[in-house]
Amino acid sequence: MSMNIYFSGVGGVGIGPLVHIALDAGYTVQGSDANESPLTRELRSRGVSVSIGQDGTFLKACHAQQPIDWYVYTAALPADHPELLLAHELGIKTAKRDELLARIIKEKNLKLIAVAGSHGKTTTTGMLVWAFKQLGVPISYSIGTTLSFGPSGKFDPNSEYFVYECDEFDRNFLHFSPHVALITSVDYDHPDTYSTEADYLDAFRQFASQCQKVILWQKDNRGLDVTADSGWVLDENEVLDIALPGIHNRRNATLAVKAFEYLKLASNEQIISILAQFPGTNRRFEQLGNNLYSDYGHHPVEIAATLQHAREISDHVVLVYQPHQNVRQHEVREQYTDSFTLAERVYWLPTYLSREDPHLSILSPEELTKDITNKDAVHIAELNDKLWSNIQEARNEGKLVLCMGAGTIDKWVRDQLTA
């Protein structure tokens, strides 16, 4: 009999793809989320019952209709969430996404290709999935965004490999033992999971030790102990000349090429040609309109890399930046200094608050920007009509406007465009 699974947080970038995979693998699925999103709409189009609202009513009704075997939830769900409490009360097995995914990979006898790293995971995962599809090689995968060339998660019964965006948040990536892993970058992040940089590096070292083969850059191998026996450690001069804008994109694409070289699935020339046509992923330098782009970046290293990408397209770049998580800002505030130098103007928004430590003082935009190299370019702003007017003016002047952040900024910009 098919396993019956209830997913909580189906609109999220971690759970949403997993629902697609479970559906493809023949499981019975349903789920809920607090808000509508592209992923909830994507799932509904496949006939999945999705409840907007998570007070437990829908979960109870589903369980009464057909007993639920697993309640799968996102790591962001609070311990006192009504659905989680009800699942415990009803005696339903509860699990985070990694446990179910590991079971599917093992059950279906798939070889795991994992993409880990502080930045570039989504893009690199997207590149691998794109290349598999262009080669016509069956592939199962999970990626933390929506794609223009397929659903965000898929199980193909004919596939030998599973490509997974393997996140370090909540130590998710430590639940897997990949056939091959790509580590895109290692820069301290997620202070709510890792209290120190040493703790963060230890997790990456453990992850690398669990992989049959690791492909990474020399600069990211500090303390990870990847040797010639356990992996391929690439030097900076090995970045391939691939026709993609942005040095970080060319670096990520190089890792993808090396993965196919290791798997012996295609020639380097063939993959380079395929990746030059890569259409990108949602929220990664995504063009929303003329001279207007949206990007998920919210770490100083990501900001600098994305601005470099933007400057390859335009000499005049205006950045609208929404910092993410106050707890993160306490960790990265001193790293902001040179991150914004390629922007001629920076509109700095209040920090988007999520999963916060109530004992930490909220850092103001003024506090966060006081040590920035090009401080004269910074203007404190709010998500309001005045900011939209400034954005429109810059676009009309032919400047490239880049809206960055992992909070509400992307939705706000899209709403302005359709208003």
CB 180 within 8 A of CB 215: yes
Which of 147, 180, 148, 188 shows the shortest CA–CA distance to 164? Answer: 180
Domains belonging to the chain, first-starting first, are: 4-96 (3.40.50.720), 108-275 (3.40.1190.10), 286-418 (3.90.190.20)
State both tokens at 408.
């509400």
Sequence letter at residue 168: E
Which of 130, 131, 247, 252 shows the shortest CA–CA distance to 184? Answer: 252
CB 377 within 8 A of CB 346: yes
- Helix (H), strand (E) at residue 163: strand 161-165
Looking at residue 12, what is its pLDDT? 87
Looking at residue 137, what is its pLDDT? 98
* Digitized pLDDT (tens) for each residue of the chain, 419 residues in all: 579 999 999 998 889 999 999 999 999 999 999 989 888 999 999 999 999 999 999 999 999 999 999 999 988 788 999 999 999 999 999 999 999 999 999 999 999 999 999 999 999 999 999 999 999 999 999 998 889 999 999 999 999 999 999 999 889 999 999 999 999 999 999 888 999 999 999 999 999 999 999 999 999 998 898 999 999 999 989 999 999 999 999 999 999 999 999 999 999 999 999 999 999 998 899 999 999 999 999 999 999 999 999 999 999 999 999 999 999 999 999 999 999 999 999 999 999 998 888 999 999 999 999 999 999 999 999 999 999 999 999 999 999 999 999 999 999 999 999 98
CB 97 within 8 A of CB 18: yes
How far apart (Å, rounded) are the C-alpha atoms in residues 228 and 231?
5
DSSP single-letter state for residue 352: B
CB 155 within 8 A of CB 24: yes
Which of 125, 133, 144, 119 shows the shortest CA–CA distance to 20? Answer: 144
How far apart (Å, rounded) are the C-alpha atoms in residues 381 and 258?
43
How far apart (Å, rounded) are the C-alpha atoms in residues 252 and 367?
33
Separation in Å, CA 44 to CA 29, 83, 99, 298: 11, 20, 24, 30
Looking at residue 125, what is its pLDDT? 98
Residue carrying the six token digits 């400057």? 311
Which of 18, 252, 269, 334 shows the shortest CA–CA distance to 152? Answer: 18
DSSP single-letter state for residue 351: P
Residue carrying the six token digits 């914004």? 340
Q: How far apart are the two ends of the chain, measured CA to CA in Å?
A: 48
How far apart (Å, rounded) are the C-alpha atoms in residues 273 and 278?
9
Which of 327, 319, 312 shows the shortest CA–CA distance to 357? Answer: 327
- For the purposes of burial, counting CB atoms within 10 Å of the CB of 409, is it exposed (0-12), middle (13-18) or buried (19 or more)? buried
Output the CA angle 247-249-250, nearest 5 degrees.
65
CB 254 within 8 A of CB 242: yes
Neighbours of 382 (CB within 10 A): 11
How far apart (Å, rounded) are the C-alpha atoms in residues 149 and 280?
10
Separation in Å, CA 247 to CA 142, 182, 208, 250, 301: 25, 17, 25, 5, 12
CB 119 within 8 A of CB 301: yes
